[in-house]
Protein backbone atom coordinates (compact mmCIF):
# COMPACT_ATOMS: atom_id res chain seq x y z
CA UNK A 1 0.00 0.00 0.00
CA UNK A 2 1.24 3.45 -0.84
CA UNK A 3 1.64 5.88 2.06
CA UNK A 4 0.63 8.95 0.07
CA UNK A 5 -3.09 8.23 -0.03
CA UNK A 6 -3.62 7.93 3.78
CA UNK A 7 -1.42 10.97 4.39
CA UNK A 8 -3.28 13.09 1.86
CA UNK A 9 -6.64 12.12 3.35
CA UNK A 10 -5.33 12.88 6.83
CA UNK A 11 -4.06 16.29 5.79
CA UNK A 12 -7.27 17.13 3.97
CA UNK A 13 -9.28 16.15 7.06
CA UNK A 14 -6.94 18.28 9.16
CA UNK A 15 -7.46 21.21 6.79
CA UNK A 16 -11.24 20.79 7.02
CA UNK A 17 -11.12 20.73 10.82
CA UNK A 18 -9.01 23.90 10.90
CA UNK A 19 -11.33 25.56 8.39
CA UNK A 20 -14.33 24.67 10.54
CA UNK A 21 -12.60 26.07 13.64
CA UNK A 22 -11.64 29.26 11.80
CA UNK A 23 -15.22 29.67 10.56
CA UNK A 24 -16.55 29.11 14.08
CA UNK A 25 -14.13 31.68 15.50
CA UNK A 26 -15.12 34.21 12.83
CA UNK A 27 -18.79 33.58 13.61
CA UNK A 28 -18.21 34.03 17.33
CA UNK A 29 -16.32 37.29 16.73
CA UNK A 30 -19.11 38.57 14.45
CA UNK A 31 -21.67 37.82 17.16
CA UNK A 32 -19.48 39.61 19.70
CA UNK A 33 -19.15 42.64 17.41
CA UNK A 34 -22.91 42.70 16.82
CA UNK A 35 -23.53 42.48 20.56
CA UNK A 36 -21.12 45.32 21.22
CA UNK A 37 -22.74 47.48 18.53
CA UNK A 38 -26.17 46.78 20.00
CA UNK A 39 -25.09 47.56 23.58
CA UNK A 40 -22.84 50.57 22.99
CA UNK A 41 -25.55 53.19 22.39
CA UNK A 42 -27.49 52.10 25.50
CA UNK A 43 -24.78 51.52 28.12
CA UNK A 44 -21.69 53.19 26.62
CA UNK A 45 -18.60 51.75 24.99
CA UNK A 46 -16.73 50.64 28.16
CA UNK A 47 -19.65 48.67 29.58
CA UNK A 48 -20.49 47.25 26.16
CA UNK A 49 -16.89 46.00 25.91
CA UNK A 50 -17.11 44.52 29.41
CA UNK A 51 -20.37 42.71 28.68
CA UNK A 52 -19.12 41.44 25.34
CA UNK A 53 -15.88 40.19 26.89
CA UNK A 54 -17.78 38.46 29.70
CA UNK A 55 -20.04 36.84 27.10
CA UNK A 56 -17.03 35.54 25.18
CA UNK A 57 -15.50 34.29 28.41
CA UNK A 58 -18.74 32.49 29.27
CA UNK A 59 -18.82 30.84 25.83
CA UNK A 60 -15.18 29.76 26.27
CA UNK A 61 -15.89 28.23 29.69
CA UNK A 62 -18.95 26.41 28.34
CA UNK A 63 -16.96 25.02 25.42
CA UNK A 64 -14.16 23.91 27.76
CA UNK A 65 -16.67 22.15 30.03
CA UNK A 66 -18.26 20.49 27.02
CA UNK A 67 -14.90 19.22 25.77
CA UNK A 68 -13.94 18.03 29.25
CA UNK A 69 -17.21 16.17 29.60
CA UNK A 70 -16.81 14.57 26.17
CA UNK A 71 -13.28 13.42 26.97
CA UNK A 72 -14.13 12.20 30.48
CA UNK A 73 -17.16 10.21 29.34
CA UNK A 74 -15.10 7.85 27.18
CA UNK A 75 -14.74 4.51 28.96
CA UNK A 76 -11.24 3.19 29.54
CA UNK A 77 -10.52 0.04 27.63
CA UNK A 78 -8.63 -2.77 29.33
CA UNK A 79 -6.08 -2.78 26.47
CA UNK A 80 -5.16 0.83 27.20
CA UNK A 81 -1.95 0.03 29.07
CA UNK A 82 -0.76 -2.65 26.67
CA UNK A 83 2.01 -1.54 24.34
CA UNK A 84 1.28 -2.02 20.62
CA UNK A 85 3.87 -3.72 18.44
CA UNK A 86 4.99 -0.50 16.73
CA UNK A 87 5.48 1.23 20.08
CA UNK A 88 7.43 -1.75 21.41
CA UNK A 89 9.62 -1.70 18.31
CA UNK A 90 10.27 2.02 18.83
CA UNK A 91 11.17 1.43 22.47
CA UNK A 92 13.55 -1.38 21.49
CA UNK A 93 15.31 0.90 19.02
CA UNK A 94 15.56 3.74 21.56
CA UNK A 95 16.84 1.57 24.42
CA UNK A 96 20.49 1.46 23.21
CA UNK A 97 20.49 5.21 22.61
CA UNK A 98 18.99 6.54 25.83
CA UNK A 99 19.16 3.57 28.22
CA UNK A 100 16.57 1.72 30.28
CA UNK A 101 16.16 4.33 33.01
CA UNK A 102 15.55 7.17 30.56
CA UNK A 103 13.12 5.01 28.58
CA UNK A 104 11.23 4.13 31.78
CA UNK A 105 11.13 7.81 32.82
CA UNK A 106 9.85 8.76 29.35
CA UNK A 107 7.10 6.15 29.56
CA UNK A 108 6.05 7.30 33.05
CA UNK A 109 6.14 11.03 32.17
CA UNK A 110 4.72 10.97 28.68
CA UNK A 111 2.75 14.19 29.18
CA UNK A 112 5.90 16.07 30.21
CA UNK A 113 7.73 14.64 27.18
CA UNK A 114 4.87 15.78 24.91
CA UNK A 115 4.97 19.30 26.37
CA UNK A 116 8.74 19.40 25.92
CA UNK A 117 8.43 18.26 22.32
CA UNK A 118 5.78 20.91 21.71
CA UNK A 119 8.00 23.60 23.26
CA UNK A 120 10.95 22.46 21.16
CA UNK A 121 8.76 22.53 18.06
CA UNK A 122 7.59 26.06 18.85
CA UNK A 123 11.19 27.19 19.43
CA UNK A 124 12.35 25.62 16.18
CA UNK A 125 9.40 27.06 14.26
CA UNK A 126 9.81 30.55 15.73
CA UNK A 127 13.54 30.96 15.39
CA UNK A 128 15.13 30.96 11.94
CA UNK A 129 18.57 30.90 13.54
CA UNK A 130 17.75 27.75 15.49
CA UNK A 131 16.37 26.08 12.37
CA UNK A 132 19.49 27.01 10.41
CA UNK A 133 21.78 25.72 13.17
CA UNK A 134 19.89 22.43 13.46
CA UNK A 135 19.76 21.99 9.69
CA UNK A 136 23.52 22.48 9.40
CA UNK A 137 24.36 20.31 12.38
CA UNK A 138 22.06 17.36 11.83
CA UNK A 139 20.64 17.80 8.35
CA UNK A 140 22.29 14.95 6.45
CA UNK A 141 21.91 12.42 9.27
CA UNK A 142 18.29 13.32 9.94
CA UNK A 143 17.45 13.25 6.24
CA UNK A 144 19.00 9.81 5.82
CA UNK A 145 17.23 8.43 8.90
CA UNK A 146 13.90 9.93 7.84
CA UNK A 147 14.19 8.38 4.39
CA UNK A 148 15.06 5.00 5.94
CA UNK A 149 12.06 5.24 8.26
CA UNK A 150 9.79 6.24 5.38
CA UNK A 151 11.00 3.32 3.28
CA UNK A 152 10.61 0.94 6.21
CA UNK A 153 7.11 2.17 6.94
CA UNK A 154 6.14 1.96 3.26
CA UNK A 155 7.47 -1.61 3.06
CA UNK A 156 5.55 -2.58 6.22
CA UNK A 157 2.32 -1.33 4.64
CA UNK A 158 2.70 -3.47 1.47
Whether residue 52 contacts residue 39, with contact meaning beta carbons closer than 8 Å, is answered with yes
Which of 32, 51, 72 is a domain's end point? 72
What is the number of structural domains in the chain?
Answer: 2
Taking residues 59-76, what's their average pLDDT?
A: 80
Measured CA to CA, the distance from residue 87 to residue 79 in angstroms comes to 14
Q: Of 72, 93, 125, which marks where a domain is finished?
A: 72
Task: Return mean pLDDT, the chain.
Answer: 79
Report the C-alpha gap between 84 and 76 in whole angstroms: 16
Residue 46 and residue 20 in one domain: yes
Report the percent of the chain where pLDDT is more than 70.
80
Q: What is the pLDDT confidence band of residue 33, given thresholds at 50, 70 and 90?
A: very high
In sequence order, the 6+-apart residues with CB closer than 8 A to the CB of 48 are 35, 36, 39, 40
Give the whole-angstrom CA distance, residue 9 versus residue 119: 27
Backbone phi, then psi, for 132, in 5-degree steps? -65, -45
Supply the range of the domain harboring residue 89: 84-157
Amino acid sequence: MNLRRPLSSLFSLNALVWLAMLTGLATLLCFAAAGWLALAPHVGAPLASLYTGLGLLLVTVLLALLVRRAVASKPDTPDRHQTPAAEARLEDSLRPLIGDSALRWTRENSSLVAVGALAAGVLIAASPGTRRFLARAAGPVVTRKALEAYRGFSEDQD
